Each structure stands twice: as structure tokens, then as C-alpha cells.
Structure 1
């Protein structure tokens, strides 16, 4: 169980000490928290919540603001969303502007916990004001995380994957629980993946493209960086490797 509070100047030292990986995507998230989040919060443009563990260590945050998203009838039909399509092209939403987990607290379920908090807030808002979706501009390195949390791809740019989570799915959950496997098993699967990549003479860019991940994620796997189950499953599927 994590504790939370709105961002304020009181937490400036904790914010300055917030650590993320040294990649362009993660530097972007950290820069937002340290340089923009407080001002936007004070102006009521984007509300930021800070989450702390039992020792009052800042472990993660997210920022939300209102949104209006254009959704094509074909996308609605594809995912069987219960929406009125005649005469409507735009729908109310809550935008997940940023979400970040301190690098020292990864693989502990913090990201999943924050996402559940976001869903709960959006669902509560929908009880008082029309709201159909949670939207996010997912950075390339976080595509798998959001996809495995039920977000659907709307479109992509060079910088982002625009994704949607339909709030109606909270009443009809279809997501499967992440399997629990040991660290040893994860390491065995990772080694097998790297072996197949080497034997097949595939580049990391090729693997990233077929698995829907960022190239930096594949590089991190080579150097033994901790990798989550969802990422491994995506790479295995793209390479035709049996996951479990």
C-alpha cells in the first residue's frame, strides 16, 4: 500500500532525488517532474500526485488532465466499444500526461499500482461527468506496459504511440493476470532470446520493430538489465519462442 499527496514545494528535495534510467524517454519523464509538474499543478492545468512507500520515499508519480479524443468508427467497431458513432467523432477523456516510477523501485508492482489509481480516478470522474477513455501518449519504451494494461493503439508518430483505454472495460475486465515466474526462469528465457537473436543474425532494430518495443529495451536485455515478464513475452512471440 502506497501513500500519496499532491505535488507541492514541500517535496522539492524528494523530487530532485527522483531517479530514472539514462535514456531519452526516461530523461523526458524526469524533466517533466522536476521542471514542469509543479507549475502546471498550481495553475490547475495538470494535477500531479506523488506516491510514497512506508518509509516516505518517493517511488512514483502521475499527472492527469482533461482531454477530448477523436476516435474513428472503425476503431470503435474493431474493439466493440459501446459508443454512439452516429454524428459523433470526439469523446471526453482523462489524459494520463505522465507516469513515472523511480528506477530504484522497479519490478515491485509500483507501475501497476499507479495505473490502478489512474483507472479509479477516471472511473470516479465518469460517475459525475461524461468520460469514455483514458488517453496516453506512450513513449516507445513504455508501449508494452500500456498495451498489457488494456490500452489500445490509436495511431503513432515518430515520438509517441497514441493509445486509448476504454473505461467500459472496467465493468467487463478481459485482462489476464501476469504469470508469476521465478527470476531464474526469467533469466533462462532471456538467455534463450539472446541466443536466437544471435543465431538468426537479427539486429536489435528488427526485433524491436516486430515486437512493438523500443530498441533500447532489447539492448538492455543483452546487458542483463532486469526485464519484466510482459516484455519477455512480447519478444518471444515475435521470435516464435515458446514463453512458458
Structure 2
């Protein structure tokens, strides 16, 4: 097992900027291959084709990525929602509109220092701005492993699929807007 160095992070020094040609990704490693591979091998092309909007965390003016997330517009089957959610307006639809948090990763040396939550709050703020211009039901994601599932559960995401290894999770827009308005 590889020894992991932890760097002390001051969130006040973190800036979040859109992915650009100046973004340095070759040193990024969050410990999850698909999340690393998207940033290193596909982010530039996905951004250029407008498939995802990618936002990267940096320390101050550095171009080295220490964390990132990617958003995209999508929908999912209403049939996958838990029965308790079908008592609302969605029960008359086949699919529900959503903003999908496609990827969220934090470089391993910055794990457990609040950067994941910081990135997620930035994503919430951007999703709230999208809600000013377009309607949708929730922010959705697919969790990659047990550790990330627990992270999202602790932040009040709800599992809505039967897949327990990589569950689909959601955060209803109404709840997300409340969090953004309260600033927490």
C-alpha cells in the first residue's frame, strides 16, 4: 500500500475557476481511476463539445488542479424514484429533468479537509443559478464507491436506485435552494 502525504489546506486560499487550456491536470490523483481519467483524458474535449461544464479548484493563482467537478443537463426515469417521492407532481411524468453532477474529485493529499464540501457548495450555487433560467427536479449523481456514497449521504443526498454498489443519488432542487439561501 502506497503511503499518502497529506498537505494542509486553507480553504480561504482556494479558488474555483472554469477548466481552461491553462489548467494543469497531469498531477491530479484522487484515488479513483474513472474520476482521474475524465479530468486527464476527456475534460478538454467534453468541455469543448459542451457536454460538461468543468470547474477546477486551485490554490490561489496556481494552475494545478487540487479538486474539480463537472455538471451536465440530463433526465432520469421517474420509475427509479422511491415510492415516497411518487406522490408529487412527478408521478405523471416518464422522466424527471435534472442537473447531473457527473464527476467530483479531490486530490488525495487534500482528502478530509473540507474541499469536497467546498466544491459541492460551489456546484450548489451554480445549480441555483441554472434554476433561475430552467426548470428541473434535482441535482443527481452516481456514487463511485462506498466512501463517496457515505460522503453524499452525510450531506443529505438520497439514494434512488436499487444499485447498492454505485447508487444513483439526488438532492431535490427545493432543498438545494434552501441550502444556498441559508449559505450553509
TM-score surpassing 0.5? yes
* Distance in structure 2 (CA, Å) of the matches to 1:123 and 1:158: 29
Which structure has the higher relative contact order (CA within 8 Å, separation 6+)?
A: 2
Q: Does 1:66 align with 2:76?
A: no
The structure that has the greater radius of gyration is 1
* Distance in structure 2 (CA, Å) of the matches to 1:41 and 1:74: 30
Deviation of residue 124 (structure 1)? 1.2
Alpha-carbon RMSD: 2.3
SS of residue matched to 1:108? coil
In structure 1, the residue matched to 2:51 is 45
* Distance in structure 1 (CA, Å) of the matches to 2:117 and 2:83: 26
* Distance in structure 2 (CA, Å) of the matches to 1:74 and 1:5: 33
Deviation of residue 145 (structure 1)? 0.8
The 1:87–1:79 alpha-carbon spacing in structure 2 relative to 1, beyond 3 Å, is closer
In structure 1, the residue matched to 2:28 is 18
Query: Structure 1 length normalisation: TM-score?
Result: 0.61
Give structure 1 stretches of 5+ with no counterpart.
Answer: 174-244
Deviations 1:82-103 (A, max 9, x none): x413522322110011000011
Deviation of residue 118 (structure 1)? 1.1
SS of residue matched to 1:32? helix
Q: Does 1:108 align with 2:118?
A: no
Counterparts of residues 73-222 of structure 1 (less than 5 Å)? 75=82, 77=84, 83-140=88-145, 141-157=147-163, 160-172=166-178
Q: Out of 70-79 and 148-157, give the one that drifted further.
A: 70-79
Query: Structure 2 length normalisation: TM-score?
Result: 0.80
* Distance in structure 2 (CA, Å) of the matches to 1:147 and 1:37: 27
Deviation beyond 6 Å, 4+ runs, structure 1? none
Give structure 2 stretches of 5+ with no counterpart.
Answer: 1-11, 180-184
The 1:20–1:87 alpha-carbon spacing in structure 2 relative to 1, beyond 3 Å, is closer
The 1:49–1:172 alpha-carbon spacing in structure 2 relative to 1, beyond 3 Å, is closer
* Distance in structure 2 (CA, Å) of the matches to 1:46 and 1:60: 16
| Contact 2:19–2:55 (CA under 8 A) maintained in structure 1 | yes
The 1:85–1:42 alpha-carbon spacing in structure 2 relative to 1, beyond 3 Å, is closer
Deviations 1:26-79 (A, max 9, x none): 012101110111100011011111111236242100011101122349726259
The 1:84–1:114 alpha-carbon spacing in structure 2 relative to 1, beyond 3 Å, is same
* Distance in structure 2 (CA, Å) of the matches to 1:61 and 1:33: 8
